[in-house]
Structure 1
């Protein structure tokens, strides 16, 4: 090999871009995290590893860290840039100083209400909330109220049935919110029975409630989350707290038939409309 060719070879060898690694850090591994890592690899050339958090930080300062779960976020050392994923917004807000960015797990209320409007037009809509959602959720709630959604506050010490009765009175749709003080495994059956006795559907508050009996909800799949994570790896995008702009829609066809609600022909049709 001539001296010139050797020089060109060495120049190319040492000027190739070196991609930082990506670590998805959690307190324990799971098939969900492995699928998330596999989905992220489709959208980025970087190496993606699921790592158990034991107090130390894997990799080096040039790597990117996505944290899963409040316990990991709370223990993560400040000063090491990290973004939260697959974690509730309430947990993120409580530990915001440990993060430089986040992809909220929940769907935005504005999108959920857009789904209500798409499915039910100008239907009278009510929403039950507790003080636990304040202060960070209040701007979203206020925006819904300005659009005509009736907000019913579930007071401490008050019976949920009382707030539920108030919310259902004069309403056509109940819009759920990710507020564990209202929607939880102990309360959801009572909420659904009370609503459906009056032929009032529940939209949201998350995909997990579709199987329980909610008629519809938007949500971000693992591929949706991976796409957003890949976006955040681009220059200038890592430090951002936001809802996921990529999402899907789920329906409960059995509930729709019971309530005589006509569902859209395809989920993609709804997603396209909600993105407008």
Structure 2
């Protein structure tokens, strides 16, 4: 379904009935990343998936999409659906947006799950990496996206999931250069949300991959301990919905049914 937000068309879908659960995909992904999970998650719940600004079938708003910009677009969908309280799962970038959405309206959130994501702001090294990627995107976008997708997987899994990685690259290239740049610019300036997450009253979960090449597992585990969040460690990399699907399903069902 399509909904207009400011000057942008926002794509979303609704599956099932029951308590609302919002699923937010990661950077260079789309709502299709949840395809292997929706059937299970919607058995007792109303599952809402949304293509984030500049991703999938959703338009861009500009060349900087802050986490608040993303969150406001999600809010437009939820308001349209008359959803006032919900549970939310955010993968990577989707986790940053879930935190921004929770800060805008903490009373709306019943439970929040960070999946392969973090409460922390970018380090200087990460900001430098994003700046270099933005420059490269303007000249060699296809090659950059291809490399970026592969690098999200634990190295030993890249052969195992070679076909799925190729499919992901095709999906990722649906994100226009503008969408790529806008998200990178927004992630660079996102604030540290650890203290907010720590003091939040909603239920908190964190799912992390032990071999995640993007986020340090022990750091994420420590954040979970500091914030009194339920922590679930999986054996793979950053793409748990592919690398650890069999273990991810019961973990997410535990979250939505708790």
**Shorter-chain TM-score tier:** 0.3 to 0.5
Greater helix percent: which structure?
Answer: 2
Q: What's the TM-score once normalised by structure 2's chain length?
A: 0.35
Point out the structure with max Rg over C-alpha: 1
Which structure has more RCO (C-alpha within 8 Å, separation ≥ 6)? Answer: 2
Q: What's the TM-score once normalised by structure 1's chain length?
A: 0.33
